[in-house]
Amino acid sequence: MYLRYFGDSVLRAKCLDVECFDKSLTKFAESMFKVMRENDGVGLASTQVGNNRRIVIVLPPGKPKPLVMINPVVTSKSESRVVYEEGCLSFPGMYKDIARPSEISVQYSDLNGQKFELDAEGMLARIILHELDHLDGKLFIDHLHWWARVVLTTQLRMKLIFNRG
Ligand SMILES: [Zn+2]
């Protein structure tokens, strides 16, 4: 398992629900956590490690233990939005101001298939929304104005070509 970067088509994959809650799912989540920790991340989605199942890991601010969310669905989000600088492990060193709802409710299953509902705000809400976007093949740069996105993706693609030599 390794981290996928912008340019890898798997980052645009739409993920499918997890139906089997078995030991291999737990192992997979543990491997994801390892990748996230090695890269100093606070969240990671399955597409970022080349998988297309609806699995995300988030590290709630100030908490040592990650939250594994299987088949997460946002059930409500606030009208009020906040703009904050955001990054993504698949875009090393890049940070952009992104507007997102300040409060959300999310339903998800844990690794045993038990269902939970969580109300989140602030940074935790932002991390969850960012990771859930990944499950639909959506990236944080998709939230930028179209022209900013065009300029940015052109720069990123040039860099990819340049780095390949
Ligand atoms: Zn990301």
Q: Tokens in use for 20?
A: 């089997």
pLDDT in tens, 109-143: 999 999 999 999 999 999 999 999 999 999 999 99
Phi (first) and psi of residue 87, to 5 degrees: -130, 180
Domains, the chain, in order of start with CATH, read 9-164 (3.90.45.10)
Q: Biggest alpha carbon distance in the chain?
A: 49
- Distance from the alpha carbon of residue 94 to the mean position of ligand 1, in angstroms: 11
Residues bordering ligand 1, an ion, CB closer than 5 Å: 88
pTM: 0.93
- Distance from the alpha carbon of residue 128 to the mean position of ligand 1, in angstroms: 10
CA distance 105 to 108: 10
pLDDT in tens, 27-79: 999 999 999 999 999 999 999 999 999 999 999 998 888 999 999 999 999 99
Q: How many CA atoms lie within 13 A of 164 on its CB side?
A: 6
- Distance from the alpha carbon of residue 65 to the mean position of ligand 1, in angstroms: 19
What positions carry a catalytic annotation? 131
Measured between alpha carbons, how far is residue 155 from residues 65, 94, 95, 161 in Å? Answer: 36, 12, 14, 10
Average of pLDDT values for 136-157?
A: 91
15 neighbors 54 (Cβ within 8 angstroms): yes
Task: Please give the pLDDT value at position 139.
Answer: 96
- Distance from the alpha carbon of residue 112 to the mean position of ligand 1, in angstroms: 25
DSSP-assigned letters across all residues of 110-157 = -TTS-EEEEEEEHHHHHHHHHHHHHHTT--GGGGS-HHHHHHHHHHHH
**Looking at the predicted structure, is the pLDDT value of residue 165 above 80?**
no
